[in-house]
Structure 1
Amino acid sequence: MSAAPAREARAERPGDAWIIALLFALAFAYDTVEAVANLQQLPLLYLGSGIEASVPWWLLIAGVAMPASLFLAALWIGRRMRLVPRAGVLLVALGVSAQLALFAEQLARQIAVSALGG
């Protein structure tokens, strides 16, 4: 029996990395749009509830800045990696961005409940 011939590694094209980065940029942009919507709508909800002094502005601003910061950090970390590990780093950063968005939403809810006296 003879051993199977080893597969040659495919050469990566520079355009492939740009395509992956663009696809992840769209996903991070969606997270940013959600954060901007929260920045616009949450103060109105707090105003309607009569707790406008308790609006967590720091949390809303951090929510807008976080997706872009994570995307840039992932690009910087993966800058010398091959395509698949670079995509993995971007995927982990996207997951962290989603988790932080959920955490911020929960924190804003807890701030509102405590401001309402509950």
Structure 2
Amino acid sequence: MTTAAAREPREERPGDSWIVALLFALAFGYDTVEAVANLQQLPLLYLGNAIEGATPWWLLYAGIALPVLLFAAALWVGRRMRLVPKAGVLLVALGVSAQLSLLAEQLARQIALTALGG
């Protein structure tokens, strides 16, 4: 009788989903804060190297918007899922956000090198 009770799925509480979403919101928020810092600092770096005309503004604004959009999309995709699959969708979206952030940094570096003539 104990094994049958152990195999029975545990009832999920609505608050569990909110807690998982909040934890992922913090992680996506960190990505957004990093993007805002890039928006503040990268133009200064370009200005210091006299290549301010090559500042990739579109990339800086996209860096701010993407984590927010990915988080919202993950919440929408996982809205009717159980807790673990929903957390998986959020984790994949966070990984995509991190990868796009690294790609944006590399692209900004390539734009700067091209503007410097190297």
TM-score (norm 2): 0.96
Q: Which digits, 9 at most, give the CA deviation of each residue in 1:47-95, with x for residues without a partner?
A: 0000000000000000000000000000000000000000000000000
TM-aligned CA deviation for residue 5 of structure 1? 2.9
What is the match of residue 32 of structure 1?
Answer: 32
* Distance (Å, rounded) in 2 between the aligned partners of 1:29 and 1:60: 16
What is the match of residue 113 of structure 2?
Answer: 113
Q: For 1:5, what is the secondary structure of its paired residue?
A: helix
What is the match of residue 70 of structure 1?
Answer: 70
What is the match of residue 102 of structure 2?
Answer: 102
Bigger share in helix: 2
Q: Which digits, 9 at most, give the CA deviation of each residue in 1:4-29, with x for residues without a partner?
A: 53611111000000000000000000
* Distance (Å, rounded) in 2 between the aligned partners of 1:54 and 1:9: 56
What is the match of residue 5 of structure 1?
Answer: 4
TM-score (norm 1): 0.96
Moved over 6 A (4+): none
* Distance (Å, rounded) in 2 between the aligned partners of 1:36 and 1:66: 12
Q: State the Cα RMSD in Å.
A: 0.8
Q: For 2:4, what is the secondary structure of its paired residue?
A: coil
| Structure 2 portions without partners, runs of 5+ | none
* Distance (Å, rounded) in 2 between the aligned partners of 1:105 and 1:59: 9
TM-aligned CA deviation for residue 100 of structure 1? 0.1
What is the match of residue 14 of structure 1?
Answer: 14
